Amino acid sequence: DFFPRKGKRNGAWMTSFKSQYIENDKNERPHVSIVCNFTKPTNTKPSLLTFNEVTTLFHEFGHALHGMLANTHYRSLSGTSVYWDFVELPSQILENWCYEKEALEIFARHYETDEVIPLEYIEKIKKAANFQEGLQTLRQLSFGMLDMSWHGINPSDITDVKAHERTVFEKTDLYPDVSSSCMSTAFGHIFQGGYSAGYYSYKWAEVLDADAFEVFKEKGIFDRSTATSFKDHILSKGGTENPMILYKRFRGSEPKIDALLKRAGLVT
Ligand SMILES: [Zn+2]
């Protein structure tokens, strides 16, 4: 369901109408769909996706694969029914293919001339994506730690909201504090919206997807045995085992931050 229409919610997501499960020896297959709000085709032009829309499509397709390749007994543990901080690995890892020449050659062609997108455009997109990445990284870390700090101790013991926040932010400060600002009271993720100490999962998912994609970079982004291993150890397993056990079976070790820092341009 790719295009906007009246009454449709904004954004993009994967919907599961029916999960996969096994009952009476029958493997019931899942029904999933990808919902987006992409640039509509017109009378004279097909739908020409922006780069952002392409990465969104790959992202949601990753969630869809997690649902479609599920192969577990119980529907409550099937597909994307995993711990909160593991659900974005299949989706975010797929986005990496959008920056690879081998992948782009398959579909990223000019709609009139059939010319493959010039690689220098992709290099520019990569560089632009890393603009102010150091600041962004510190910002995400500070939000994750602030969220965690409110849930890690008895909040009744925190008598001064601003003073508490300052002690947390000290570790990630790049600019001096603005005394009139207070993030805790404006940060919905801390107490509502289902995060409640789970905001760190954004950055954590990046650690996982960058580290996992390293295997594909080493073996080839379309390497069949690596893809099969990713399917067998991660995509098909849902929440049947602890994510770290599943991850280590695919990767051979726990994730390291090196690949993420390198991709972000923070180390060379
Ligand atoms: Zn997602």
CA of 71 to the centre of ligand 1 (A): 20
Answer yes or no: do 188 and 234 share one domain.
yes
Q: Is residue 1 part of a domain?
A: no
Number of domains in the chain: 2
Query: Cα–Cα distance between 131 and 191 in angstroms, integer?
Result: 31
CA of 25 to the centre of ligand 1 (A): 32
Print pLDDT tens along the chain (268 aa). Answer: 999 999 999 999 999 999 999 999 999 999 999 999 999 999 999 999 999 999 999 999 999 999 999 999 999 999 999 999 999 999 999 999 999 999 999 999 999 999 999 989 988 988 898 999 999 999 999 999 999 999 999 988 999 999 999 999 999 998 888 989 999 998 888 887 677 899 999 999 999 999 999 999 999 999 999 999 999 999 999 999 999 999 999 999 999 999 999 999 999 8
Q: Is residue 136 part of a domain?
A: yes
Domain range spanning residue 168?
132-268
Answer yes or no: do 18 and 61 share one domain.
yes
Regarding beta strands 13-18 and 31-35, do their DSSP bridges make them parallel or antiparallel, or are they unpaired? Answer: antiparallel
Query: Cα–Cα distance between 185 and 146 in angstroms, integer?
Result: 11
CA of 61 to the centre of ligand 1 (A): 9
Q: Is residue 3 part of a domain?
A: no
Answer yes or no: do 113 and 141 share one domain.
no
Q: Is residue 89 part of a domain?
A: yes
Answer yes or no: do 57 and 170 share one domain.
no
CA of 121 to the centre of ligand 1 (A): 25
Answer yes or no: do 155 and 122 share one domain.
no
Q: Is residue 202 part of a domain?
A: yes
Answer yes or no: do 159 and 265 share one domain.
yes
Distances (CA, A) of 168 to 17, 143, 148: 42, 9, 10
Q: Is residue 142 part of a domain?
A: yes
Query: Cα–Cα distance between 173 and 194 in angstroms, integer?
Result: 27
Q: Is residue 264 part of a domain?
A: yes
| CATH code of the domain covering residue 51 | 3.40.390.10
Check 60, 88, 165, 214 and give the catalytic one: 60
Would you call 88 a catalytic residue per the annotation? no
Among the candidates 129, 155, 186, a domain finishes at: 129
CA of 91 to the centre of ligand 1 (A): 6
Among the candidates 129, 144, 175, a domain finishes at: 129
Q: Which helix (H) or strand (E) holds 27?
A: strand 26-28
Query: Cα–Cα distance between 113 and 126 in angstroms, integer?
Result: 24
Q: Is residue 8 part of a domain?
A: no
Q: Considering only CA atoms, which of 49, 85, 81, 83 is closest in space to residue 67?
A: 81
Answer yes or no: do 223 and 164 share one domain.
yes
Answer yes or no: do 219 and 242 share one domain.
yes
Answer yes or no: do 219 and 261 share one domain.
yes
CA of 19 to the centre of ligand 1 (A): 17
**Contact residues for 181 (Cβ-Cβ < 8 A; gap 6+):** none
Among the candidates 75, 102, 129, a domain finishes at: 129
